[in-house]
Structure 1
């Protein structure tokens, strides 16, 4: 039975020209909205509506809708062709079967971990991902707070090792959509900590609240999608202790203008690149961490060693 289901799924995903990631996410949108309605009712019943600001929620929904449309357009014009060419260079043919689906899902999770981690530590990728972290409130619509720039900055590149190995791009994108769909439900304060075994293995609401916190100990932690084990193995795990303060630690945008929310960091990055200076220093703004700044004249000045005696006046 399992083999039959996997064969059907493999056939269903045979067309690499369909953006299965967006098909799944659009198809799940009614479920997402119903889950948010339940979350709101639960938190309302608990008298905890502080994280529900309707202007913020409306911005989240608009950002999500714009992201959906732009991702489809990017897939039709660029992504599908680029990914299709990479798939032609594949080393093997790895079908989706009952035996391969879990290893492929684990591979997608591994690729996602590194995509997410570098989206925090390389400014080029951060210029897109920053949109998701610009919300200062946490509820399920925060998951919809996505950027128009993801395809431009190249999110799909991180999943190409699987495609080169021989997994169909459609299968990779479909399973990535499953991963993203799971993540929608962990953007919430309505669920506390789960059983310790689940907290150890999975990216739970508690673990993901940490990821969105700008508290000093929470910054750049808990990058997992469905699982949290790669964070534990690679030293990026942090447990939720104090209540997270949501948002961006530096350059927090204010307001709900969709153009500002989508492009503020991208434009700031290019302004830094275009500032006068050595070319290598200017280009470093693209690949250095988001907080990196050019050395100033003061930091570049030669400071005498502390052991040297300072000049003193000569007595007459």
Structure 2
């Protein structure tokens, strides 16, 4: 434990935030990325209020009750992150950083490199969150709304910190980037992504659409139409989707239908957070070899066991 504490202190000292960290209340000093997200939340609420006034008469675009639930789902996510990220994720990052391969100082060049690399890690984390059922169990909450508006961005799962998606960013700490700054880049990426959850912004300039993730691209990502599913995984940039073959554009003859293929219609926060975990447990309980049962954890969400031969 002392070894881990030393690693933690080293990370803070090298980030330049040690004095700030120790001046914060203990509950607030757990995770700087969530601190940024919490501070941004009043802006998110204000922007959604503006959007709501624009689209409130179209029930297909916004529902007041669902929007309140979306913010409550987001509050649950923020609470578990604040309480547990500093106990679960940050110590692993600190340990990886203590055994880093390189010493990478914070400069403009390294900051830009970290920004791009963080988004690359986000791409693979996000893609895995759609193609690995265990990760999908946490991410499905974000996709289960049949509407797209700013409140949808707040629709998050309180189990995220326990689900392990944060492990995708640990290689950056091992490489030599300070975990505090990794967290800052991640938080700013989340802030950016809030603004692409809207139907009020159409296509932007082609140069912007080619490089960055935009509302136009992200609406496609939230679609459940065949041909749109599992595309446009980027956070800030869309170039990784173009590079790895997961990019899709909206087609004029196929209007977007939001939601998931096995739609959940529940007002319960617990159901919205836990329904896919319950489905995984149900599928794993079905008779069969242990190896096949366990595959429900890492196979894609739509995977079914092969039919047993008579």
CA deviation vs aligned residue, 1:67-122 (integer Å, no higher than 9, x gap): 00001111233222222222222111212211211110000000000000000000
- TM-score normalized by the length of structure 1: 0.87
Name 1:136's counterpart in structure 2.
Answer: 146
Residue 314 of structure 1 is matched in structure 2 by none
Q: Residue 287 of structure 1 aligns to a residue in which SS? A: coil
2:271 is matched with which residue?
A: 260
**TM superposition score normalised by structure 2:** 0.89
Q: Which residue of 2 aligns with 1:120?
A: 130
2:4 maps to what in 1? none
Alignment of 1:231-270 (within 5 A): 231-241=241-251, 242-249=254-261, 251-270=262-281
Q: 2:32 aligns with which of 20, 30, 52?
A: 20
Say which SS state the counterpart of residue 295 (structure 2) adopts: helix
Following superposition, the deviation at residue 57 of structure 1 comes to 0.3
Looking at structure 2, the residues matched to 196 and 49 of structure 1 have their Cα atoms a distance apart, in angstroms, of 31
Q: What residue is the counterpart of 1:104 in the other structure?
A: 114
Q: Tell me if 1:11 matches 2:16.
A: yes
- Does 1:42 pair with 2:70? no
Q: Which runs of 5+ in 2 are unaligned?
A: 1-13, 23-28
Does the 8 Å contact 2:296/2:303 carry over to 1? yes
Q: Deviations over 1:137-185 (max 9, x none)?
A: 1100100000011111111100011010011111101100100100001
Residue 205 of structure 1 and its aligned partner are, at CA, apart by 0.3
Partner of 2:173: 163
Cα drift, residue 18 of structure 1: 3.9
Please list the CA deviations of residues 264-316 of structure 1 after superposition, one character each: whole Å capped at 9, or x if unmatched. 0011112212222101100100000000011123xx35xxxxxxxxxxxxxxx
Q: CA RMSD in A?
A: 1.8
**For the Cα contact (< 8 Å) 1:22–1:71, is it kept in 2?**
yes
Distance 1:290 1:43 in 2: 33
Unpaired stretches in structure 1, ≥5 consecutive residues? 1-8, 302-316
In structure 2, relative to structure 1, the CA distance for the partners of 1:12 and 1:76 (3 Å cut) is closer
Change over 3 Å in CA distance of 1:13–1:133 after alignment to 2: farther
Classify the secondary structure of the residue corresponding to 1:254.
Answer: coil
**8 A Cα contact 1:18 1:170, kept in partner:** no
Paired position in structure 2 for 1:271: 282
Correspondence 1:190-205 to 2 at 5 A = 190-205=200-215
8 Å Cα contact 2:121/2:168 also seen in 1: yes
Q: What is the CA–CA distance in structure 1 between the aligned matches of 2:272 and 2:58, rounded to whole Å?
A: 27
